[in-house]
Structure formats: structure tokens, C-alpha cells
Amino acid sequence: MPSFKCIAKNCPFEASAPTEAELMKKIVEHAKTVHKMDPMPPDILAKVKAAIKP
């Protein structure tokens, strides 16, 4: 199950989901509501995808 720990400094957000697509929905929502990123910049998106663990 793919999992993710937020790459922002001092952010405790962690999530997992059955698929990477479902996990990305949770991450995008977190970025939007907590970090005010809507949409998420391409460079951050690349770092987020690299931080997803299988």
C-alpha cells in the first residue's frame, strides 16, 4: 500500500491508500487545505511523487 509523509518542515501529515491515485487525492487535498497550494506547483509535485513509498 503506497504511503506518504509530508515533505514540508514540521508537518505531521502522513497518509496511505490502496492505490497511488487514491493517495494522490489525499495529498492534493492536504496541500490545498493546509499549505494553501492550489494547484500544487510542478516542482513540489515531483518531490511529492518521489517521496511516495510503495
- Assign 26 a pLDDT band (cuts: 50, 70, 90): very high
Check if the beta carbon of residue 6 is closer than 8 Å to that of residue 29: no
Of the candidates 11, 14, 3, the residue with the CA atom closest to the CA atom of residue 36: 11
Q: By residue range, what is the domain housing residue 34?
A: 3-51
Number of structural domains found in the chain: 1
49-54: average pLDDT: 98
The average confidence (pLDDT) of the chain is: 98
